[in-house]
Structures are given as C-alpha cells and as structure tokens.
Amino acid sequence: MNGEKPYDFASTPGKLPKQVVPLEYSIRIVPDLNKLTFSGSETVKINASAPIRELVLNSAELEITKASVDGTQLAPDAIKLDANEELLTIALPDELPAGEHLLGLEFNGKITPKGRGLYYMPYQEQGTGAKKMALGTQFEPSDARRFFPCWDEPSFRARFQLTAVVPENWLAVSNMPVESERKVGANIGKEVRFQPTPLMSSYLNVFVAGELDVIETKAGETQIRVIATKGKAEWGRYALESTAQILQYYNDYFGVRYPLPKLDQIAIPGGFGGAMENWGGITYYE
C-alpha cells in the first residue's frame, strides 16, 4: 500500500528562493479607522542556509518605509518593490553569513472593502440600527503579503506573534489567546498582544476586531467560542454546542488532540469566499 510521500521543504514548488527561511515573526499593526489605512512594523528572525547578498520575500500594496538587518539601518535604495510579481527585494551592503539574523521592516498599507488582506466591514448594529464598522482579514490564497511583508507561500512555516492597536471598546481576535492588553495614549485605544502561534503557513493568520459579543464553552481543555457583532452572538448557540461535541469526538476518534488552546468561530458581516479555516479563528459570513 502506497502512502502519501512525507513533506519535503526543498522539493515543494514555489517562486521564492529557499536559501532563507523565516523562523519567527513579531508584527505590530496600528489601523487608522478614519483614513482607512494602517501602519505596521515587524521583526523577523530568519535563517540563511548559505551566505547571501539579498533577501527576497512577498509584499503587495504596501509602502516599505524602513528596513534593517541585525539592527543596521539600510539605505532607502536598498529596498526594491516589484508590484507585478508582488516581491520585495532587499539588497544587503555586505554578504550576510549563514545562520540566524533579524530583519526589521516598517510599512504602511490600506484597509480596503475588497476582502483581500485587511478589510473593513460596514454594518448596522442589531437592535439599534446604528451604523458600525469592523475589521477582518482574508489571506488565502496569497494575501497575507497585503497585511505584512512575509514569505507568503505555504511551505514557509513559521511562528507568528501579532500585536494590534484597536479602540478601547473593541474586541480583537487572532489565532491565539490574548497575552496582554494595555492602554496606549489619550483617545488612542488599547494595544492587544496575542500569544505566539505554533509553526504554520502565513495564509492561516487571522485578525478580526470590532464591537463584538462572545458566547463560549469548553471541549476538554480547549476554549470554544462563537463571536459575532453585538446582538447576534446568541444566534450561534447551536454552532457553539455542536463544535464542542465534534471536537471532542475527533480528539477521541483520531487519537490526536487539537493542538491550540482555543477554537473560535467568527461570524462576520458581509463575507468573502464563504468561510476561511484560519487556525484557531475560523471566519464565515454571518
């Protein structure tokens, strides 16, 4: 009986060079809800398997304002963007030796209504009719690069830690539970930092934020939640109870435990692609 071939990074097809791989991303995003833009910064721990003279990764519809490697700021002309190929090439002043290094980037982007990357969702609040807006992301198949520069191919698996600044009365949701929250400045909002993810592909990241309600239960040690705009969370009671039962059944049936501490189902106004299997934060049209 022939089984499926074991996964092999080197032989997996892709467009990006494989001499450099990301290991860990630390990403900070600050949306501007009035201008429908966002600013971001990230530090990426990378590993080079051989000496290199440039870094090549994905970026689309982002303005890269600063780049550094191992703490050394690079000249603006070292940053090259290819809009057609959605590639960011960073020329290095000297050959970078093999081993682990830190890439730092600062960037700006747009919040669009298109359902690619970071998008906004206008809606009317249940019960009050008030006009509201929420934020969400859609990264499959290759749109994480519109949220942050990254090695945006499924074979490049890394750990991701997201931090986002949102209004104080908003709930922010990502793949992992919240690690910390703190107020930032006067009338700015709060900074929400999430726990790091396990190794995963970039397209499985998720970020949803807005005036949201939550109902929750547990399946074993796993927190199960249904999240929706205010006044609608209770509509997901059946989904909540069914998910807890199904997850427990699959844990027992396959003998493999669900590996994350939580599993959220996020019902969003509008909707793109029907549903998205973001790890730990499934989104679908309400």
172 by Cβ neighbours in 10 Å (0-12 / 13-18 / 19+) ranks as buried
Instruction: Identify residue 268 by its one-letter amino acid code.
Output: I
DSSP string, 180-193: EEEEETTTTEEEEE
| 251 CB-contact burial (10 Å; exposed 0-12 / middle 13-18 / buried 19+) | middle
pLDDT of residue 3: 64
134 and 120 Cβ atoms separated by less than 8 Å: yes
DSSP, collapsed to helix, strand or coil, labels residue 146 as helix
- Residue 274's pLDDT is 78
Q: What are phi and psi of 260, to 5 degrees?
A: -95, 160
Q: Each residue of 178-209: pLDDT tens digit?
A: 999 999 987 889 999 999 999 999 999 999 99
What per-residue confidence (pLDDT) applies to 196? 99
Instruction: Give the pLDDT confidence score for residue 1 in this predicted structure.
Output: 47
The verdict on pTM exceeding 0.85 is yes
Residue showing tokens 């080079």: 48
Q: Side chain identity at 235, as an amino acid letter? A: W
Quick check: 161 and 193 in contact, CB under 8 A?
yes
Instruction: State how beta strands 171-174 and 207-210 pair.
Output: antiparallel
Residue 2 is predicted with a pLDDT of 60
Q: What is the pLDDT of residue 273?
A: 64
Q: Is the peptide bond before 31 cis (omega within 30 degrees of 0)?
A: no
The maximal CA–CA distance of the chain, rounded, in angstroms, is 65
Lookup result for tokens 């539970």: 177
State whether residue 208 is helix, strand or coil. Answer: strand
- Classify residue 122 by burial, with Cβ atoms within 10 Å: 0-12, 13-18, 19+: exposed
Q: Residue 233 burial by CB count (10 A; 0-12/13-18/19+): exposed, middle or buried?
A: buried
Q: What are the residues facing 101 on neighbouring strands?
A: 46
Place of tokens 């844990």: 251
Closest CA to 153 of 7, 5, 13, 11: 13
Stretches where the chain sits below pLDDT 50 are: 1
Q: What is the pLDDT, as a whole number, of residue 139?
A: 96
pLDDT number for residue 7: 79
The full set of domains in the chain, from first to last, is 20-211 (2.60.40.1730)
